[in-house]
Structure 1
Amino acid sequence: MFNMAPKKTALKKSLGETTMLKRSVSTRAKRNSDVKLVDESSKRKAVSPLKQLSKRSAFGDITNDADLSKKIATNKRDSKKNVETISHVVKKNLKESENGNKAVMPHKKTGRSNIPTFPPKVQMAKANIKPEKVHSSSVSKPTCDKTEVLTSVRVKSPDSTDNELYLTAVEELKKLTTKDEERKKEPLPPPGVEDFDAENMGDPVQVSEYAMDIFSYLKEREAKFVIDNYMERQTSINTAMRALLVDWLVEIQENFELNHETLYLAVKLTDIYLSKVTVSKETLQLVGAAAIFIASKYDERMAPMLEEMLYVCDGAYDKKELIRMEINILNKVGFELGIPLSYRFLRRYARCSKVTLPVLTLARYILELSLMEYTFVSESDSKLAAAALLLALKMKEISGWTKTLQYYSGYSLEEIKDLVLKLNDMLKMKPKEALSTVRNKYSHKIFFEVAKEPVLAEVNL
């Protein structure tokens, strides 16, 4: 069921013959018969904890208290009567006021008054209401629609005189709306660029009003998570061991059916931690296991259990070691888990340029292969996503870097040209048997068998 760990033969070559016999990445062929933490007869099923818990309201057990519920209902009825009484007095006195404005009648169905609540320091002479009869605790804020008859109700400013003009509530609302529209106003795309966000403005799920700001913010945050050449400081591990670990993480993501964002975040957390802490080869797998455990909690609806993570490590670590490593990683990254990921940028660029799903899947395959290559660790995630998409377009013999892609990515063809060539050289490398998880994954029909796509001998840009 959980054939997720790399082969021990590959580990022996890279990690040594004697050091990883006990604490190693688990084998795919052999299972530890003594460790039976997960049912091997069936696939892991998500069991909702809600079935074991009783229902509870968001603010505690208030709704389950019968006496308290009666008190709340009684207070609501008393408050409603007070509002109706005050509304009647306000209506009567407004008719007799010198400005002659017509008062707003209460709603026929609910009995609520649509008269807005006066500010604390507003002059109340025109309403002729005695202050001691009006209690703020018994008056609830009325609800009213913007287009209702609020134009007939005029509220006097505390510092104004009788000769000054009054501003209606609708006029104030128009001022606020105008300011809000000016704040949200964005420059239109240049000629020849499709306005993807404008096309999806009616869909609230797309958040088209904020999409450009969100990805601009993510590009700004990339400078905070730049990873240097940390392998020079590592004395016990090398790039081959890191590639083997990433291959194992890909297999975990596939078997647990985790989101792709979880995989990318786990690899990013692993690289950030390794750039700050020198680890031994016995601890490398523990770092990867804790990283994907943290990423699952951050990005998954239901993350794998702690026992499941220990199981896929083939009993190499215990519960305390995994929890301690989880705490160490969170401390080293400063609990900053909103890290910009190349996968998110790729989806944004592909959707804005309206590429087909096979093209997007091919770009995802290229991007996922780059996770195992240490040479791409220091590259910008947004730039790497743009280069992967351009290479996929070239492999599918589709038009190259269009104005739309340049506008939404923020990169010109010259800026990503060298990175595209590096990615193509990666594809031309002879596949390694120990690092075959990604290729096997994307050779399936569900991924359009993009791993079998012919590699370009030369990229014409």
Structure 2
Amino acid sequence: MAPSKTTLRSLDGVNKISTRSRAGLGLPENVNKGLVKIDKIIRGKRKAEGSPSKEKAVKRTALGDVTCTFNSYTNNTAQKPTDAKIIRVRKITVQSSKVLQSMKTVQKPIQNENLAPPPAPGGNKVVTRATIKHIHIHCPNQTAVKPKEVPKENVVGIGATTKKRLSNEFEKTEESLYSSALEEISNDSPHFDSKKRATRLSKASDDSSEQQSSSSTPNLSFVADQLQLKLNLGSHEVPEGVVNYDKENWDDIYQVSHYAMDIFNYYKEKEKDFPIGDYMDRQVCLTKWMRSLLVDWMVEIQESFELNHETLYLGVKLVDMFLDRVTVSKETLQLVGAAAMFVASKFDERIPPMIDDFLYICDGAYNRREMIRMETNLLKIIGFNLGIPISYRFLRRYARCAKVTMPVLTLARYILEFALMDYDTISLRDSLLAAASLYMALKMKKISDWTPTLEFYTGYKKEELKDTVFLLNRGIHKPPKSQIMTIRNKYSHRIFFEVAKTPLLSDHQLFSS
């Protein structure tokens, strides 16, 4: 859902405000007086290209019009159809020569060419099944349709044997135990083998007896234990003095404690597959300040569209990966950010915004073709690999294992999200950034120090966090600038416990015992 009002900033710092139409949003007439002209957006129903016109309703039966052909054939026997395909069909019940009311059964086309020609129909006599064996069906305006082949039924006079058709699996007998729904096997069939059937029946009885004996004893726990032992799930040894968080939540299906540790160990191994270097020297048209403006604008998109925080972190990651590999101009930078958020929302959102919403949020600077082309180029550059480990997921895992309160976690999220605008953090590991932000939140809230539990689950000691903590602390100590106030205003709200107003600490206070 697009916002009613969104503040957009160009890369040179000039404020621009774009809004939707007054009629669609119920805004007053003077809402944009002196700012930006509002163009009324009228969106009609989209229609697929080449769709048929609905002025004339075209109706068509499944097998074509059979009645008109039969009447024309009975009335004019001298003329034979020569310009249309002829299909011979067995067994058609006709009540009258004028109206063909019902068709009992339709069998496959006759393949025997030595059959006698159809008798000449006469007058208005009632034609019965015994008198009609073959009927030429011809429609001058319809294309001949080959009837579908249906299984034969018990028909007197054709020499077919009587066969029983099973309706469902509960009506299966011993003779038809291995027959499918479309198989009909009789004793006279060449495919029938009494010895094979006896062997199958004996094997089936053995299997059923084994299943009954095994069902009497509960073996689900045994299978689960064997699967866990084979996959080596949850077998991580926890040192003494460390809270075994996964073991405490072992039966909680939402915690996935059986393989949560394996998931985040895999994430930490995958971090080296997504390196980002110092690309700003190669970007001749861009600066660090312009990147900070872009990230601030992406945070505003996340707030306006009410997207997940994972979408924001993935979008910023995609921007840095693209800029590390491709040189872009100043005018294209905002398009890269919009396309990155568009791709990230498709990956992480249940209902992602439409492309029109992203074009609207760009204030009409780009068209649909440019957005789709940038999205394609972005996916090609990153190799279509969107499974990038992001720091937000690491932070949530670490805070959960440490059992911190929601205000402490929100403060760590504020520090981590504020670091997105800092260009100096792009080359650091996401797991390290998450651990350092959580350490700062614990110290600023005066909760606790770096515990053995956090050291075990994060994999980082307190000394390893020192440089990263100093870098993040310098970032939040910078004086606020009016152009990039979105994150500060966001976390100053009471919904986020006003964590942006938490008193800051010096580097010495952060690492004092």
For normalisation by structure 2, the TM-score amounts to 0.64
* Corresponding position of 1:398: 447
What's the counterpart of residue 419 of structure 1? 468
Rg larger for: 2
Any gaps of 5 or more consecutive residues in structure 1?
14-23, 40-67, 88-128, 153-168
Given that 1:237 and 1:280 are in contact with CA atoms closer than 8 Å, whether structure 2 keeps it comes out as: yes
Q: 1:394-429, CA deviations, whole angstroms, 9 ceiling, x for partnerless residues?
A: 100111110000110011111111111111111111
Q: Distance in 1 between matches of 2:466 and 2:506?
A: 16
Rounded Cα–Cα distance in structure 2 between residues aligned with 1:384 and 1:284: 25
Paired residue for 1:349?
398
Structure 1 residue 130: Cα displacement: 2.7
Cα deviation 1:193-227 (Å, max 9, x = unaligned): 10111111111121111100000001111001110
Partner of 2:213: 149
- 1:27 maps to amino acid: I
Q: Output the CA distance in 1 between the equivalents of 2:453 and 2:209.
A: 44
Q: Aligned residue for 2:276?
A: 227
- Who is 2:17 aligned against? 27
The question of whether the paired residues in 2 share the 8 Å contact of 1:6 and 1:27 is answered with yes
Q: 1:35 to 1:250 in 2, by over 3 A?
A: farther
Distance 1:394 1:38 in 2: 52
Over 3 Å counting, the alpha-carbon distance change for 1:281 and 1:3 in structure 2 is farther
Change (3 A) 1:140 1:275: farther
Bigger RCO of structures 1 and 2 (CA < 8 A, at least 6 apart): 1
Matched residue, 1:130 = 195
**Distance in 2 (alpha carbons) for counterparts of 1:135 and 1:80:** 19
Secondary structure of the structure 2 residue equivalent to 1:190: coil
Name the aligned partner's letter for residue 285 of structure 2: S
Matched with 1:204 is 253
Which secondary structure state, in structure 1, belongs to the residue aligned with residue 373 of structure 2?
A: helix
Change (3 A) 1:238 1:184: same
In the alignment, is residue 251 of structure 1 matched against residue 241 of structure 2? no
What letter corresponds to residue 12 of structure 1 in structure 2? D
Equivalent in the alignment of 2:126: none
Residue type matched to 1:7 in 2?
R
C-alpha distance in structure 2 between counterparts of 1:226 and 1:84, whole Å: 64
Q: State the one-letter code of the partner of 1:204.
A: I
Identity across the alignment (%): 50
Relative to structure 1, is the Cα distance of residues 75 and 418 closer, same or farther in structure 2, using a 3 angstrom cutoff?
farther
What does residue range 74-85 of structure 1 map to in structure 2 within 5 Å? 77=167, 79-82=169-172
Structure 2: tracts of 5 or more residues without a match: 19-31, 45-147, 152-163, 178-193
- Is contact 2:9–2:297 with CA below 8 Å preserved after alignment? no
Instruction: Report SS of the residue matched to 2:315.
Output: helix
Q: CA deviation at 1:35?
A: 5.5
TM-score by length of structure 1 reads 0.71
**What residue identity is the alignment partner of 1:429?**
K
Deviations 1:322-365 (A, max 9, x none): 00000000000111111000000000000000000000000000
Q: Counterpart of 1:7? A: 9
The reply to whether residue 379 of structure 1 matches residue 428 of structure 2 is: yes
Q: What are the Cα deviations for residues 179-198 of structure 1, in whole angstroms up to 9, with x where unaligned? A: 64253251321011101111
Taking a change above 3 Å as real, the CA distance of residues 143 and 391 of structure 1, as seen in their structure-2 partners, is: farther
Tell me how large the CA RMSD over aligned residues is.
3.5
Deviation at 1:34, TM superposition (A): 1.8
Sort the Cα spacing of 1:176 and 1:444 in 2 relative to 1 into closer, same or farther, 3 A.
closer
Q: Shift of residue 170 of structure 1?
A: 10
Partner of 1:443: 492
Where 1:251 maps in the other structure, the secondary structure is: helix
Instruction: Tell me the SS of whatever aligns to 1:412.
Output: coil
